[in-house]
Structure 1
Amino acid sequence: MHLTTTPVRPRLGERIMAVINRDPRTAPHGTRNDALLAAAAVALAVCLALSTDDARRPDALGWTLLIAAHVPLVWRRRRPLLVFAAVVALVLPYHALDNNHSAPVPASFIALYTVTVTQRPLRTLVVSGAGLGLSLAAMLTFGGDRQAVELLRIYGWVFAVIFVGIDVRYYRQYIAAIVERAERAERTREEEARRRVAEERLRIARDLHDLLAHSITLIGVQTSVAAHVLAADPERLDRETVAKALDDIAETCRTARGELRTTLEVLREQGSVGETRGPLPGLDGLPDLVEAARLAGARVEQSVQVRQLPPAVGAAAYRIVQEALTNAVRHAGPEPAVRVELYEEGGVLRLSVADEGIGPRPGGSPGFGLVGMRERARSVGGTLDAGPRGQGGFEVTAALPLTLLEGAR
């Protein structure tokens, strides 16, 4: 069963307002509509010309000029000024021949209205004034005072057309400005939503990298220890060492599984993107990181001399130390000596993780660890440096302000 919905047809008033609000130069089917308008104006002009007495009815030349004056209206949207000039040029001799003066008025008003709604008001006034002046000059020259007074009476409506056209023009500009502001606001909202989504994706990527890279590195080191014990001397198997290594692997897996479950639960929660967060890790988790690194074979010394930190700063420091210890266990060689130091100085948390190992292998594929640490530091308005030490090994240092900058996350 297929359900079809019938589109709601706009009401007559809504369609009329849409036509008024729309710029005539961008309206669809403009040429076709103008051709129909010109045909209707010709029919009206013929009726007006035939309704007068025989003395004022156009002759053959008058009919030719009258009908020809309506032809340019087909292109009034494309060339409004040129069309108006053509209509005036054809209407002037028509009036000079003392034909029915009412017949060409609709065509003249249509051309004039098009100029007023598409051109600047000053240009409209200059053009309409020039047209009226030429008409009066022609009537005074060829038709006498009576025809000039009659023409002036007819063209008294010119000012009404001018003011209506200018008013419509300003109204359309007002509507266009409102629409533009609404579109700009919508684009701003969309860009803000995309930015927040990108920031959230980056945060999730950092969290997953910090979690999985740390856990997988520890599991790899502990597995290597167990494999080494099994292969070193099968005749004198150290079952206690193997069992401890396997227990450490199991514990690391349980911890990683728990943190991963917490992260996934946060992602599934409903709410605005980027606002729903799980509990942030802090410096109270540093002992666990140090103990895990020691189980992986590193000789870690720590010195933590800090008071209570803002949650975001504590989380950033935790993740930086976690990644630095992971890199030390992975790249610094067997049983590396690592020193972790955190202290406050001048409203800034100073962080240092230095090892005395061999450092990363030259030519190795770059990972996301250093990039992630720098992003962690920038997220709270801090800075991070990492590189080889002069006396050997590798060092990561960071400066994290204890007072978050505006906009820091």
Structure 2
Amino acid sequence: MAGGRLWSAAHPRLADACLAALLVLLVLPTLVIRNPEFPGSPDGWSLAVFALAAAALVFRREQPLRVWAFATVAGVAGVLQSDGSIVLAATTCVALYTVGSRLPLRSVVLASVVSGVAYTLASVVAEGDWLDDRGVPGLQTFAWSAAASAVGVAVRSHRATLAAAEARALQAELTREDEAERRVSDERLRIARELHDVVAHHISIVNVQAGVARHLLDADPDQARAALDLVRDASKTVLSEMSTVVGLLRTAGEEAPTDPTPGMARVGELADSIRQAGLDLTWTVSGELAGLPAIHDLTAYRVVQETLTNALRYGTGAATMVVDSRPEGVSIEVRNEVGRNGRHRSGGGHGLIGMRERVDAVRGRLAAGPEPDGAYRVSVLIPRDPA
């Protein structure tokens, strides 16, 4: 049956021509029996009009309503000529099936009623009486018309259901691919932010301390040695944190790093390292920092790290930081003098972009920019709500 449907869809005209020929062959014996004057020969007029109605079925897919009207007129004419042979309504039933499968329900109901009434009246006229031994002549055509139309409507509904299911499956497939691409893109951005935050902070320390060591190498070897120790510690830290980030890209079977994810619990260590790098940092913490969701805790830590790194790189060497833990979240404010040269970048660079992306991802708020007094201020609120 599936092969037949595929062949019919590929050759619609040929399939309908075969259907028309089959109907003629099925009706031909009935027309022979109903010709009493010439036993064994068909009723020529009835056969002619039925053949014309059957031939019109070849165009039923393109013009369903017109084919139905022609088949009904031809069928009624045949019934009148053949003394009420209702079998001539076969082409009309096929046309009604096509109408039901392709046209709106209102047109289907109207066509069914018109067909039933037309064939019933034609049968009454052909029989010469409103009643015969079985009741009203041709009344059964109503049932045939309704059945043919109902089958057509059912087929149309089934096709619509299949088409909708296929469309949903296709949409789901496309959505799945888009979702996979989006997740890959989001993960790529997240890893890029992690690498930037880790590398930028510690390489800034390495750069500053390497300059200090070079400057004091001859004048104060002990101080230069201390600066080089900071360079070594910073490089070890950046390697360790990069190993943690890159560990996210490991394949199955490789050993993943076990270092804990940085959070606000380590903000003291971060402040000490930035002080050792040369930033005169004054900072205070109020409230309890524990209780933040993991991603919010990491976001707050990275914001502090990036902000202090920028203060070290672009400021005049001094900064203040206030961390305030509130019921709605953790507030972080960092101010540093940028001097008259205004080297602090307010909009460019990937650091501030990365901070905004991190804060937006946790539904937080970030404000950054120069103040009228010449300081650069970064204010962030990281909410506690994981939503």
Q: For this structure pair, what is the TM-score category when the shorter chain's length is used for normalisation? A: 0.7 to 0.9
CA deviation vs aligned residue, 1:48-104 (integer Å, no higher than 9, x gap): 544654378232x54442222122322322332222112112222222222783664
Structure 1 residues 96 and 346: CA distance shift in structure 2, 3 A: same
CA deviation vs aligned residue, 1:190-237 (integer Å, no higher than 9, x gap): 66555544443332222122112223322333333344456xxxxx46
CA deviation vs aligned residue, 1:98-151 (integer Å, no higher than 9, x gap): 278366443222111112233344432221111222233344446634999654
Partner of residue 303, structure 2: 320
Structure 1 residues 386 and 156: CA distance shift in structure 2, 3 A: closer
Partner of residue 199, structure 2: 212
Structure 1 residues 181 and 35: CA distance shift in structure 2, 3 A: same
Structure 1 residues 131 and 157: CA distance shift in structure 2, 3 A: closer
Q: Distance in 2 between matches of 1:183 and 1:313?
A: 37
Structure 1 residues 360 and 111: CA distance shift in structure 2, 3 A: farther
Aligned residue identity for 1:292? S
Kindly indicate whether residue 279 of structure 2 is the aligned counterpart of residue 298 of structure 1: yes
What is the deviation of 1:319?
Answer: 0.5
Is contact 1:52–1:100 with CA below 8 Å preserved after alignment? no
What is the deviation of 1:322?
Answer: 0.5
1:57 is paired with a residue of what secondary structure? coil
Kindly indicate whether residue 145 of structure 2 is the aligned counterpart of residue 164 of structure 1: no
How many residues were matched structurally?
374
Partner of residue 95, structure 1: 79
Is contact 2:115–2:145 with CA below 8 Å preserved after alignment? no
Range moving further from structure 2, 189-198 or 108-117: 189-198
Q: Which residues of 2 match residues 83-232 of structure 1 at below 5 A? A: 83-98=67-82, 101=85, 104-141=88-125, 144-145=128-129, 151-153=138-140, 156-173=143-160, 193-229=180-216
Aligned residue identity for 2:113? G
Structure 1 residues 362 and 374: CA distance shift in structure 2, 3 A: closer
Q: Which residues of 2 match residues 225-304 of structure 1 at below 5 A? A: 225-229=212-216, 236=218, 238-268=220-250, 279-304=260-285
Is contact 1:303–1:340 with CA below 8 Å preserved after alignment? yes
CA deviation vs aligned residue, 1:167-205 (integer Å, no higher than 9, x gap): 444445555555566666666666655554444333222
Q: Distance in 2 between matches of 1:216 and 1:245?
A: 14
Which of 348, 352, 360 in structure 2 is aligned with 1:366?
A: 348
Aligned residue identity for 1:380? V
What is the deviation of 1:152?
Answer: 3.8
Structure 1 residues 126 and 32: CA distance shift in structure 2, 3 A: same
Partner of residue 322, structure 2: 341
What is the deviation of 1:256?
Answer: 1.2
Q: Distance in 1 between matches of 2:231 and 2:10?
A: 71
Range moving further from structure 2, 123-132 or 97-106: 97-106
Q: Which residues of 2 match residues 51-62 of structure 1 at below 5 A? A: 52-53=34-35, 54=38, 57-59=42-44, 61-62=45-46
What is the deviation of 1:381?
Answer: 2.9
Identity among equivalent positions (%) equals 32
Q: Which residues of 2 match residues 58-69 of structure 1 at below 5 A? A: 58-59=43-44, 61-69=45-53
Is contact 1:266–1:277 with CA below 8 Å preserved after alignment? no
RMSD across aligned positions (CA)? 3.7
Partner of residue 331, structure 1: 314
Kindly indicate whether residue 374 of structure 2 is the aligned counterpart of residue 392 of structure 1: yes
Is contact 2:282–2:320 with CA below 8 Å preserved after alignment? yes
Is contact 1:49–1:102 with CA below 8 Å preserved after alignment? no
Aligned residue identity for 1:400? I
Unaligned runs of 5+ in 1: 1-11, 231-235
Is contact 2:86–2:123 with CA below 8 Å preserved after alignment? no
Structure 1 residues 316 and 51: CA distance shift in structure 2, 3 A: same
Q: Distance in 2 between matches of 1:237 and 1:35?
A: 106
Partner of residue 36, structure 1: 18
What is the deviation of 1:265?
Answer: 1.6
Q: Distance in 2 between matches of 1:364 and 1:306?
A: 30
Structure 1 residues 279 and 67: CA distance shift in structure 2, 3 A: farther
Range moving further from structure 2, 247-256 or 165-174: 165-174
Partner of residue 3, structure 1: none
Structure 1 residues 278 and 124: CA distance shift in structure 2, 3 A: farther
2:282 is paired with a residue of what secondary structure? strand
Q: Distance in 1 between matches of 2:55 and 2:207?
A: 87
Q: Distance in 1 between matches of 2:173 and 2:62?
A: 32
What is the deviation of 1:323?
Answer: 0.5
Is contact 1:332–1:356 with CA below 8 Å preserved after alignment? yes
Which of 356, 365, 374 in structure 2 is aligned with 1:383?
A: 365
1:69 is paired with a residue of what secondary structure? helix
Structure 1 residues 277 and 45: CA distance shift in structure 2, 3 A: farther
Unaligned runs of 5+ in 2: none
Is contact 1:115–1:124 with CA below 8 Å preserved after alignment? yes
Which TM-score applies when normalising by structure 1? 0.76
Structure 1 residues 32 and 207: CA distance shift in structure 2, 3 A: farther
Aligned residue identity for 1:306? G
Range moving further from structure 2, 210-219 or 28-37: 28-37
